[in-house]
Homo-oligomer: A and B are copies of this chain.
Amino acid sequence: MLGKVIVTGSMSLDGFGCGPDPSAEHPMGVGGERLHTWLFAEAAHPADVEAGNRMRAAAGAVVLGARTFSLGLEIWGDVPFPAPCFVVTRTPGPDLAQPSGTFRFVSTVEEAVAGALAASPGDVLVMGGGSTVGAVLRAGLADEVWVELVSITLGAGTPMFPSVGELDLEPIAADASPSATHLRYRVRR
Given the interface pairs A15-B159, A159-B14, the reply to whether A167 lies near B153 with Cβ below 8 Å is yes
**Chain B residues in 8 Å Cβ range of A183:** 13, 149, 181
Give the distance in Å from the alpha carbon of A155 to the alpha carbon of B167 in the complex. Answer: 8
Of the listed stretches A48-56, A118-126, A169-177, chain B binds A169-177
A155→B137 CA distance, assembly (Å): 11
* A5-19 contacts to B (CB < 8 Å): 13-15
The reply to whether A174 and B176 form a contact with Cβ atoms under 8 Å apart is yes
Which residues of B have CB within 8 Å of A155? 163-166
CA distance A170 to B164 in the complex (A): 29
Contact between B178 and A171, CB atoms less than 8 A apart:
yes
Are A170 and B178 interface neighbours, CB within 8 A? yes
- Interface size band for A: 20 to 34
Does A68 lie at the interface of the complex (its beta carbon under 8 Å from any beta carbon of B)? no
Those of A117-166 within 8 Å (CB) of chain B:
137, 145, 147, 149, 151-156, 159-161, 163-166
Query: How far, in Å, is A18 (CB) from chain B's closest CB?
Result: 14
As for how many copies of this chain the complex holds, the number is: 2
- Residues of B near A178 (CB, < 8 A) are 170-171
Residue of B nearest to A19 (CB): B166
Interface residues of A (CB under 8 A from B): 13-15, 31, 137, 145, 147, 149, 151-156, 159-161, 163-171, 173-174, 176-178, 181, 183, 185
Question: Which 10 pairs, one residue from A and one from B, show the smallest C-beta to C-beta distance?
Answer: A15-B15, A14-B161, A155-B165, A151-B169, A153-B167, A174-B176, A174-B181, A153-B164, A174-B174, A151-B171
Q: A13-B185, A15-B161, A174-B174 are in contact. List 12 more A-B contacts (CB 8 A).
A: A13-B161, A14-B164, A15-B15, A15-B159, A152-B166, A152-B169, A154-B166, A155-B164, A170-B178, A173-B176, A174-B181, A181-B181
